[in-house]
Chains A and B, each alone.
Chain A
Amino acid sequence: MKRKVFVSSCSVKAPGISDIEKLQTALIDPGFDPSLLEVMLNKDLSGYFGSLDLDTTSSYYPDRQDIKIMRNDVVASTICVSELLENTGIREEDLSNIPLFIANGIVIEKLFDKNDKVSRLFFEAILLDSTKKKLEKLYKIIPPLLALQTLTNATESYVAQYSGIAGNNTTFGNTSISAYYALLEGFRNVESGKSNLAVIGASNSSGEYSNLTFRQFTSNYSGWRESACSVFLLLESSESLKRHQKKALCEIVQLKSSNHIPELLEISTRKPFESLISEISGDLAVFSGGFTENDYELEKKEVKAKSKKSYSWFPKLGNLGAGAILMNIITAICLLKNNSVTLADCLDRDPYSRESLVKIRVC
């Protein structure tokens, strides 16, 4: 028999947002300023990028030895999961069976530029005439742990190492729909009774590499805005909630994704949320998708026509990549807490116009 699946705990890191309390403040504070950095994307056009500012004094901050090879989003995720598991009552011996499904966005923040030391040495090597000398120098300057720094499952591995979670797992990547896929796997594990708990999350970097990857996917990339983030949810069955004497934050009542064939050679001409807009039935829709002002306006128009109340983080943080739909879920929980209205639609569309919908009922 299928079991109900609840979100019982959540944790978040985003620019200007170090915890759920700060997220709640950011939602209502018109003065919230996450200090996105303006970067020139070409001679005339700039984009805004938000990076993670982590508390190095946190008791969950990773060991110095590990920090050397951890990307910022990986550090954030490690702290997030430790915070997520705080006061959950989960016994240490149970951690090895808890599933961990992760979505990883872009793993590289920045390409080489002439202004940092390794880059300078890299370019010096490239300019050498002799191939032999060039490769000798490249060999010398490439950090021994570069392969681990750019490892696509580094988030999963470090989260496991620092939390002890060691069950069924994967890392999906790297557009925003991957968080929906991660959520779906975690949901199935709990719904089917394979597991009473599942940790799901997303880790996302932002920066020029992401811009280079996705800018041609949109017709006009002016007004580009994106942020790094790390977002994690603990899913539980009702039996598990009872056992841990906990109250759920929300129930996940529906998971759905679009099933059109994504375009490869062209930009998609589909309207935002074309496949899933008819599914909106809640009193609040929290949405995400585009990287640009123009895309955001188009999404807003579609969602507003269907939902009484809507919210998007785009104006404040821009696109949150792999973390977007999970951030939407937490946002809906915060906005509907202590409210008589409890049903919310969390929507996302990725750069290939693949759409996902998570319908939640806030408890």
Chain B
Amino acid sequence: MKQQKVFVLDYDVVSPLGVGKSNVLSSLQNNVIAETPISRFITDGLDNKIACEIKEDLSGYYKNEHPRILKAISYDRKLELAVTGYYLMEDRLKKLFEQVAPERSGVIMGIGADIFSVELLEKDIIEYLQHSDDPLFEIIYKYNKTKGNINILVNPFDVTSIFFAHKLKLGAFQKSVLTACAASTQAILLGCEAIRHNEADMVIAGGTDSIITTLSFISFSKLGILAPANDQIGKTCKPFDINRSGTIAGESAGLCVIAGEELVKKSGIEPKFEILGYGNTLDAYKITSPDPSGRGMMRSVADALQNSGVFSGDIDYINLHGTGTHLNDPVELKSLKDVFGETLENIPVSSTKDRHGHAIAAAGIQEFSILCLCMENNFIPCNLNLEKPIMEQGIDLVHSVNRKRIINIGMTNNFGFGGVNTSLIIKKL
């Protein structure tokens, strides 16, 4: 049976490079690096004090929201970013979903781990410690007094998907994907699967995450994946450089609307991209590091090529996962080389994490949006901090300057914690 084609109708992103795709495009073209000293919480006493934060005050986007949602947003940055993404696209989303029955439309979001912002509850904790053995339990209990399906503190991961469903009447499903750095890329491919298997006609796929809270930031620092403090702001994260020392904490939310060809034909909506294919594999190696053989990544990239029905030489640009960590970068390049062979030297590849940081569960949708922007504007962002590449032979790692190039077919890869590998290939229409 012939598979239904799936198209991208619209997309947008809330990123440290800007809120909204035109701002992100401008930052990419002007080589902006969003890295700054952390302003979200006080960092005195920590060695590492930098991250890629979204600096813009986002409250203007959602100021008219229900007070309960506003209160929840004030304690949950992930939810705040997702809600901002909704309002950024509200009119466009409403117009698109008007054309689909609620039971034929769904939402699937990649969501990051739930580590509450201890800095926001500090005063309460100090007060409750005077008389309670379990102060956090009592604090959460105090905040969550009102009955309803949204809490002020501690919500199920599904709260973001349910928010979108509630706003846009999306009844077919509301799913949350929890596969760390690959989560929002998987959300897109699972959205495609839902359309191909007739579970829905139109789907919002995306993700939201932030690791810029005290506990998350310390946890990731202690895990050894964040680059230590650097004398030069903007030079911390160096994907594929011999002197790379880790990634940089980031945050983001992004959404894309996908639909099947039957709906596209019927509605007359002009899609922007076609999702040609994807690969999705596991390393089955170790939670702490990627499989050095790169087998899982290779299978993901190879499956994406095979399912897309394109030759490796048809790919015009690859947006890499490129975290800047010691272990991930070389395995990623090795896998690409093993799959693409000699073709790889003619395909420009780059990672943009040195510019916007690592948004973990939202990394995929942020980089998917960047790929779409690059394809629409025929340009390739360079690895800004790449001075001494770990591999030079047989690969076109774009560095020093951005390039002009027509990109008809592009690929994005996300290779996440726990060895989850996801690759996606799209075609410009």
On A, residues with C-beta under 8 Å from B are 1, 42, 66, 69, 95-96, 100, 104, 107-108, 111-115, 123, 126-127, 130-136, 138-139, 142-148, 150-154, 156-158, 160-161, 163-175, 178, 181, 184-185, 188, 192, 208-209, 212-217, 219, 257, 259-268, 351-352, 354
Q: Max chain B CB contacts within 10 Å: which of A152, A156, A212, A351?
A: A152
Known A-B contacts A174-B157, A267-B148; the reply to A104 vs B283 at CB < 8 A is no
Q: For the complex, give the distance between the alpha carbons of A1 and B132 in Å.
A: 62
Tell whether, in the assembled complex, residue B173 and residue A257 are in contact, meaning their CB atoms are under 8 Å apart: yes
Q: How far is the CB of B293 from chain A (nearest CB, A)?
A: 12
B103 located at the interface, meaning its Cβ lies under 8 Å from any Cβ of chain A in the complex: yes
Q: Nearest chain-A residue to B102 (Cβ)?
A: A261
A–B pairs, 13, beta carbons within 8 Å? A127-B129, A138-B215, A148-B417, A153-B420, A166-B284, A175-B156, A185-B190, A209-B154, A216-B144, A259-B172, A261-B169, A265-B150, A266-B148
Q: For the complex, give the distance between the alpha carbons of A197 and B206 in Å.
A: 29
Known A-B contacts A158-B287, A160-B282, A257-B173; the reply to A135 vs B42 at CB < 8 A is yes
Q: Nearest chain-A residue to B103 (Cβ)?
A: A259
On B, residues with C-beta under 8 Å from A are 1, 42-46, 66, 68-69, 102-103, 111-115, 118, 122, 125-126, 129, 132-137, 140-141, 144-151, 153-159, 162-163, 165-166, 169-180, 186, 190, 193, 197, 199, 214-216, 218-224, 280-288, 295-296, 299, 416-420
Given contacts A153-B178, A212-B137, A213-B151, 15 further A-B contacts (CB under 8 A): A108-B114, A111-B137, A112-B134, A113-B134, A127-B129, A135-B42, A150-B219, A165-B284, A166-B284, A169-B282, A172-B178, A175-B156, A259-B173, A264-B148, A264-B166
Q: For the complex, give the distance between the alpha carbons of A133 and B46 in Å.
A: 9
Q: How far is the CB of B45 from chain A (nearest CB, A)?
A: 3
Q: For the complex, give the distance between the alpha carbons of A5 and B79 in Å.
A: 38
Known A-B contacts A100-B282, A131-B44, A268-B149; the reply to A151 vs B418 at CB < 8 A is yes
Q: Nearest chain-A residue to B166 (Cβ)?
A: A264
Q: Nearest chain-B residue to A263 (Cβ)?
A: B149
Which 10 residue pairs across A and B have the least CB separation, nearest first? A157-B418, A135-B45, A152-B178, A132-B45, A132-B44, A147-B219, A166-B284, A160-B284, A136-B45, A259-B103
* Set of chain B residues within 8 Å of A126, measured between Cβ atoms: 118, 122, 125-126, 129
Q: For the complex, give the distance between the alpha carbons of A260 and B102 in Å.
A: 8
Instruction: Name the contact of A157 in the complex, choosing from B1, B156, B163, B420 (C-beta under 8 A).
Output: B420
* Set of chain A residues within 8 Å of B190, measured between Cβ atoms: 170, 185
Tell whether, in the assembled complex, residue B44 and residue A152 are in contact, meaning their CB atoms are under 8 Å apart: no
* Set of chain A residues within 8 Å of B136, measured between Cβ atoms: 111-113
Q: Nearest chain-A residue to B163 (Cβ)?
A: A264
Q: For the complex, give the distance between the alpha carbons of A152 and B109 in Å.
A: 14
Tell whether, in the assembled complex, residue A188 and residue B193 are in contact, meaning their CB atoms are under 8 Å apart: yes
Tell whether, in the assembled complex, residue A352 and residue B162 are in contact, meaning their CB atoms are under 8 Å apart: yes
Q: For the complex, give the distance between the alpha carbons of A215 and B155 in Å.
A: 11
